[in-house]
A and B are shown apart, each in its own frame.
Chain A
Amino acid sequence: MTVTAEDLTRQATEFLAAHDPETTDRMDFLRARYDAGLAWIHFPAGLGGQTAPRALQSVVDGVFAEAGAPDNNPRRIGIGLGMAAPTILAFGTPEQHERFLRPLWTGDEVWCQLFSEPGAGSDLAALGTRAVRDGDDWIVTGQKVWTSGAHESQWAILVTRTDPDVPKHQGMTYFMCDMKAPGVDVRPLRQITGEAEFNEVFLTEVRIPDTQRLGAVGEGWKVAQTTLMNERVAIGGHVQPREGGLIGIVAKTWRERPELRTPELRDRLVQRWVEAETLRLAGTRLRQQLTKGAPGPEGSAMKVAFSELNQALTGLEVELLGEEGLAYDDWTFRRPAIVDFTGREAGYRYLRAKGNSIEGGTSEVLRNIIAERVLGLPSEPRVDKDVAWKDLPR
């Protein structure tokens, strides 16, 4: 029998009665919630869930939030929750499930992602970080980039090259890497905004036990696909209100600052307003499809449209501010804990939004994906398909 919303509400209420959030230590509370199967309810029993429909997660979260219970700070551990956990669940051994999933969910152990490399961006499968077998261990050497939270993480999901003599998709192996292990060197990567949200991670002869391998040797690409597919699912769980995003900030400035207004800016602002509202509706529609269990292929299209809107809107905001747009709030080299589009000023937003069409799949790659997978148009010519990784031009 499938679990209902009523069952879950009752379970959560009973749990709260037995574990008073006021008096229970935060981490003890979270561990107990995991052990009660009320963490990620779609996970199996014993691993924080009860194989319940994923759509009912919000019911459980709602009961806990209403009681003022501590949460696991999902924004801080987003990579662990959204990407590492589903991959570990799908490919991990029972021992790995037991060892890693609980501290991941509670936030005891924070995770980061070691995928992209300076020479492997859109073409991730070209990656060259080498892992060489040494007895019960692997010795890993290479360079990863665009790693958010690397400096605060205990663990990383890592894709490596284990066989350079076969075509690129075949010779990869996936690991869980201890970020405190000798040879792991994390350096901040400063962006055009002045701050460093991301890191470069240099791996020099890092020793990883074979027990931390996820999936079979040579199967790394398949495992990585699971991670990347979940990246898309992880985006946004709630329906945004009208003017809920950046458009709200610009509209507020417009309303409060009549001296900035011109007819030409007004029509452009209304165009952006229409686009923001349209995207909000399309996002709502996508979520309604997900709830019905039929996720459409619209996600890639939404991301393309979202980055275009953000870039046009933040550009307009700087322009609207007139001479104030010539000033910048702060170029200081900082390492923000989370990306905060609303906590900074217009110039920051404009610069940060440039990354929207690059991160998580460039708009160009997404358009290829739409054209090939949704519209069924011929794929790009693949000159690298049957060539050993080591023989690829680079």
Chain B
Amino acid sequence: MSQTSPDLLYSDVEEDLRASVRDLLKAKAAPEALLARVETAEGYDLKLWRTLADEVGVAGLAVPEELGGHGASAREVAVVAEELGRSVAPVPFLGSVVLATTALVRAGAGDFVRRLATGSAIGALAVPLSTAPGAGFPSSVTAAADGTVSGRVGTVADASVADLLVVPAAGPDGPGLYVVEASAATVSELVSFDLTRRVADVVLDNAPAVLVASGSDAASALEDALLFGAGILASEQTGVAEWALTETVTYLKGRYQFGRPVGGFQSLKHRLANLYTDLVLARATARNAADALATGTDVPIAVAVAQARNAPIAVKATEEAIQLHGGIGMTWEHPAHLYLKRAKADELALGTPGKHRARLAELVDLPA
């Protein structure tokens, strides 16, 4: 057991980063703007993404400086994820910065990392978004001896706006991690349950590919990316839950029925107090997972705990937001449903709570 405790607070630098991301999102990703966009052909806000990537520098946040990044750590990435969760801004942060970039950094694919880190390209990791850490190397795509890859991968997050696809494939010499230009693949965006993070089917038909890692290197690069993603997702879930609580509290203070603010009724106050309690807990596991990913200590357990705890908390918080808003919460015009959809999709993303609990049981020796 580690002697030093994790740093579970936010540093001043992290708070500064949060403030600049939050200011930008407040101005550019207001709920009305999100709602107006969701049914258009441009589900993603790529203009906002370029600002985030270039001006705030989130694209290469945790990428080493020699590869064109800012040399920060998972802790800073987590802070950005928290803010993006609070705003459910439609940007390819999870797919590109969190999943694809991590896989490529771990694979040592410097040139591709540079393209993503500078924001000149968007990446996606070609696995179903529901893939959990520890799931084993996928085999739905195969690589041929001529260096092309073929196969089909469903529900890939952020693939519909990606320029580069990081594709795990079964090659002639075992597992390999390949990079495919998205223009060489057929990417079809699905009607996605989560309106602000789309999933797409990717079909590869003898697509030209560059092998960036093979064998156990490929497997560990993929596993690291999935763990990183699941750990960072816990911060996004914290942000989603925080929005749900804050918004509901504000609404209930101003909503009068029976001649009183509805937020003065004890049954509602207690439900909000429970959400606050959940949020305190979610923040602790999310910070712990981020710190574990930053220091490389205790990563699998920290991530499994964070996902097992925070995914249901975000779902509960957004479900309560709908219920406590009453009729208005059920309408399309109110943004609460965007958060509910994000929270529910996040519960499936990178392993359900049940899968994380099963994995945790093995990790901490609670045998069947």
Question: Does B273 reach chain A (CB closer than 8 Å)?
Answer: yes
The answer to whether B360 and A288 touch across the interface, beta carbons within 8 angstroms, is no
Of the stretches B157-165, B263-271, B325-333, the one at the interface is B263-271
Q: Give a binary string over B94-123; 1 marks a CB under 8 Å from any A CB, 0 the rest.
A: 000000000000000000000000000000
A-B pair number, CB within 8 angstroms: 131
Q: Which residue of B6, B260, B284 is within 8 Å of A278 (Cβ)?
A: B284
Contacts A285-B9, A298-B280 given; indicate if A255 touches B367 (C-beta within 8 A): yes
Contacts A266-B366, A377-B263 given; indicate if A277 touches B305 (C-beta within 8 A): yes
Chain B interface size, under 10 / 10 to 19 / 20 to 34 / 35 or more: 35 or more
The minimal Cβ–Cβ distance linking A261 to chain B, given in whole angstroms, is: 7
The answer to whether A239 and B252 touch across the interface, beta carbons within 8 angstroms, is no
The answer to whether A281 and B273 touch across the interface, beta carbons within 8 angstroms, is no
The answer to whether B284 and A301 touch across the interface, beta carbons within 8 angstroms, is no
Listed residue (A269, A301, A302, A368) with the most chain B CB atoms within 10 angstroms of its CB: A301
The answer to whether B277 and A304 touch across the interface, beta carbons within 8 angstroms, is yes
Q: Which B residues are in CB contact (< 8 Å) with A263?
A: 368
Q: Which B residues are in CB contact (< 8 Å) with A279?
A: 281
Q: Give a binary string over B40-75; 1 marks a CB under 8 Å from any A CB, 0 the rest.
A: 000000000000000000000000000000000000
The minimal Cβ–Cβ distance linking A283 to chain B, given in whole angstroms, is: 8
Question: Does A392 reach chain B (CB closer than 8 Å)?
Answer: no
Question: Does A24 reach chain B (CB closer than 8 Å)?
Answer: no
Contacts A267-B357, A378-B263 given; indicate if A285 touches B8 (C-beta within 8 A): yes
The minimal Cβ–Cβ distance linking A271 to chain B, given in whole angstroms, is: 7
Closest-by-CB residue of B relative to A296 is B280
Question: Does A372 reach chain B (CB closer than 8 Å)?
Answer: yes
Interface residues of B in 271-292 (CB under 8 A from A): 272-274, 276-277, 280-281, 283-285, 287-288
The answer to whether B8 and A378 touch across the interface, beta carbons within 8 angstroms, is no
Q: With the chains together, A380 CA to B267 CA distance in Å?
A: 11
Closest-by-CB residue of B relative to A366 is B273
Q: Which A residues are in CB contact (< 8 Å) with B365?
A: 255
Q: Give a binary string over A369-394; 1 marks a CB under 8 Å from any B CB, 0 the rest.
A: 01110111111100000000000000
Q: With the chains together, A281 CA to B286 CA distance in Å?
A: 10
Q: Give a binary string over B342-364; 1 marks a CB under 8 Å from any A CB, 0 the rest.
A: 00000000000010011011001
Question: Does A233 reach chain B (CB closer than 8 Å)?
Answer: no
Tell me how many residues of A have a C-beta within 8 Å of chain B.
46
Consensus secondary structure, chain B interface: helix
Q: With the chains together, A255 CA to B277 CA distance in Å?
A: 31
Question: Does B23 reach chain A (CB closer than 8 Å)?
Answer: no
Question: Does B308 reach chain A (CB closer than 8 Å)?
Answer: yes
Contacts A266-B368, A269-B366, A274-B360 given; indicate if A281 touches B276 (C-beta within 8 A): no
Q: Which B residues are in CB contact (< 8 Å) with A221?
A: none
The answer to whether B305 and A274 touch across the interface, beta carbons within 8 angstroms, is yes
Q: Give a binary string over A100-126; 1 marks a CB under 8 Å from any B CB, 0 the rest.
A: 000000000000000000000000000
Question: Does A367 reach chain B (CB closer than 8 Å)?
Answer: yes
Q: Which residue of A298, A302, A304, A380 is within 8 Å of B266 (Cβ)?
A: A380
The answer to whether B281 and A278 touch across the interface, beta carbons within 8 angstroms, is yes
Q: Which A residues are in CB contact (< 8 Å) with B269?
A: 367-368, 371-372, 375, 377
The answer to whether B273 and A378 touch across the interface, beta carbons within 8 angstroms, is no
Closest-by-CB residue of A relative to B8 is A285
Question: Does B261 reach chain A (CB closer than 8 Å)?
Answer: yes
The minimal Cβ–Cβ distance linking B272 to chain A, given in whole angstroms, is: 6
Question: Does B253 reach chain A (CB closer than 8 Å)?
Answer: yes
The minimal Cβ–Cβ distance linking B269 to chain A, given in whole angstroms, is: 4
Closest-by-CB residue of A relative to B269 is A371
Q: Which B residues are in CB contact (< 8 Å) with A251?
A: 364, 366
10 contacts between A and B (CB under 8 A): A255-B365, A258-B367, A266-B361, A278-B284, A301-B281, A368-B266, A370-B277, A375-B273, A377-B252, A377-B269
4 A-B pairs with the lowest CB-CB distances in the bound complex, closest first: A378-B264, A371-B269, A367-B273, A282-B284
**Which B residues lie at the A interface, using CB under 8 A?**
1, 5-9, 245, 249, 252-253, 260-261, 263-264, 266, 269-270, 272-274, 276-277, 280-281, 283-285, 287-288, 305, 308-309, 354, 357-358, 360-361, 364-368
**Which A residues lie at the B interface, using CB under 8 A?**
239, 241-242, 251, 254-255, 258, 261, 263, 266-267, 269-271, 273-275, 277-279, 281-282, 284-285, 288-289, 292, 298, 301-302, 304-305, 364, 366-368, 370-372, 374-380
Beyond A284-B5, A301-B277, 11 additional contacts (C-beta under 8 Å) are A267-B357, A269-B366, A270-B358, A271-B308, A281-B8, A288-B8, A368-B266, A371-B276, A377-B249, A378-B263, A379-B264
